[in-house]
């Protein structure tokens, strides 16, 4: 079986509004193309790089239908969807925090969710060994009735509930290595024991008031939500240690039917919104760790859903490293900045402190 790659040109047409970086235009702030940091070029250039190296020819590349209203209603209330659709049809708007959209924004967001939904269903049906969904707009910050952090619909949550309704799986693990806390996905599944949510994020970046170590779920979901608020500059070795000491043992305990990764690349060393010093190889190695765990636990079923990452030059190399690993391909895109990132990694004294923090988190979550 091949690796699936779900994408659609229409997702690149989502508009980011009249912003200069994170600042609304007005007063002393001049327009700055392409507006918000969440813009199409990081994703489009990833697809371009796959084509240039030839890796895309080894993938099962597909689009997918928009997620149907009945699929969206499993996560988002009708009033929210109705207002989103109304504004979209009227030319666009902004319903939350930094979530602008233009004409057709509702349909593009539903398509983004549809790509994630189709990727998960294809893997669970055995049509593909694993899959990557190049979803845009992203989804992991979106709450049922409030969009934020560039996210308009919660793509992964919609995909999980669709798979459950279709009887394709019962236990889902979501690993979110986007540098920002996956607050939307956490909130949706916070009371449940059939979905384990694990978020590795830079502490206090976004949202500043969520993602604490002690937030472990509620009721039946207690212990099934794991937050790893990592210090700035955690770097390559720190991320791999967090995966090895916390994430993989948590998967072993939970024994999911499938592993879903909220695959953001904003923990890279060149991202403008964070300071975590990961390289393309960091994402390659984390992908290997997840695949090895999935081979043991759930027949190798892994689905990656694209989230953040705002370096137009570097995201394509991080994404290529993940997808070449999923596909077991000999085609690589050599990282032109690998030596530079290696030179920025924490020194021995700071690395020892990072290791101590991660080990304390492991003791807290796993005993």
Separation between Cα atoms, residue 142 and residue 180, nearest integer Å: 12
- Whether 202 and 274 have beta carbons less than 8 Å apart is answered as yes
Query: What separation in angstroms does the CA of 271 have from each of 45, 158, 309, 346?
Result: 15, 28, 7, 17
Neighbours of 22 (CB within 10 A): 11
b vs e for 131-162, b when ≥16 Cβ sit within 10 Å of the residue's Cβ?
bbbbbbbbbbbbbeebbbbbbbbbbbbbbbbb
Domains of the chain: which residue ranges?
3-15+35-366
**Residue 173 β-bridge partners:** 196, 259
Handedness of CA 11, 17, 23, 29 (dihedral sign): positive
CATH of domain 3-15+35-366: 3.40.800.20
SS3 content of the chain, % helix, strand, coil (to 5): 40, 15, 40
pLDDT reported for residue 41: 95
- Whether 47 and 65 have beta carbons less than 8 Å apart is answered as no
Separation between Cα atoms, residue 341 and residue 353, nearest integer Å: 20
DSSP string across 163-187? HHHTTS-S-EEEEE-SSS--HHHHH
Residues of the chain with pLDDT under 70: none
In the chain the first and final C-alpha atoms are separated, in Å, by 38
Handedness of CA 122, 117, 288, 269 (dihedral sign): positive
Separation between Cα atoms, residue 94 and residue 84, nearest integer Å: 9
pLDDT reported for residue 166: 98
141 in catalytic set: yes
**Residue from 76, 140, 141, 162 carrying the catalytic annotation:** 141
């Amino acid at each position: 079986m091949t690796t699936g790659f779900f994408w659609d040109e229409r997702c690149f047409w989502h508009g980011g509004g009249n912003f200069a970086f994170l600042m609304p235009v007005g007063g002393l702030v001049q327009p700055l193309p392409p507006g918000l940091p969440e813009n199409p070029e990081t994703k489009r250039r990833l697809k371009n790089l796959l084509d240039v190296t030839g890796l895309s020819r080894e993938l099962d590349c597909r689009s997918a239908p928009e997620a149907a209203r009945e699929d969206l209603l499993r996560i988002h209330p009708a009033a929210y969807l109705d207002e989103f659709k109304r504004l979209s049809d009227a030319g666009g708007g902004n319903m939350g925090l930094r979530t602008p959209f233009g004409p057709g924004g509702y349909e593009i967001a539903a398509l983004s969710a549809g790509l994630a939904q189709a990727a998960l269903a294809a893997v669970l049906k055995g049509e593909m060994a694993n899959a990557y969904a190049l979803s845009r707009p992203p989804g992991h910050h979106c709450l049922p009735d409030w969009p934020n952090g560039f996210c308009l619909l919660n793509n992964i949550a919609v995909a999980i509930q669709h798979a459950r309704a279709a009887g394709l799986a019962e236990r889902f693990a979501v690993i979110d290595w986007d540098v920002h806390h996956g607050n939307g996905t956490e909130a949706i599944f916070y009371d449940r024991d059939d979905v384990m949510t694990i978020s590795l994020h830079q502490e206090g970046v976004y949202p500043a008031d969520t993602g604490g170590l002690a937030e472990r779920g509620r009721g039946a979901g207690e212990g099934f939500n794991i937050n790893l608020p990592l210090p700035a500059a955690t770097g390559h070795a720190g991320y791999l240690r967090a995966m090895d000491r916390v994430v993989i043992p948590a998967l072993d305990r939970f024994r999911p039917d499938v592993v879903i990764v909220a695959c953001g690349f904003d923990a890279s060393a060149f991202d403008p919104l964070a300071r975590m010093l990961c390289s393309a190889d960091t994402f390659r190695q984390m992908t290997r760790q997840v695949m090895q765990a999935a081979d043991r636990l759930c027949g190798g079923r892994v689905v990656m859903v694209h989230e953040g990452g705002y370096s137009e030059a570097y995201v394509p190399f991080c994404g290529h490293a993940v997808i070449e690993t999923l596909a077991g391909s000999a085609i690589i895109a050599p990282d032109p900045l690998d030596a530079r990132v290696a030179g920025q990694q924490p020194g021995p004294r700071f690395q020892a402190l990072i290791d101590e923090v991660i080990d304390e988190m492991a003791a807290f979550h796993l005993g």
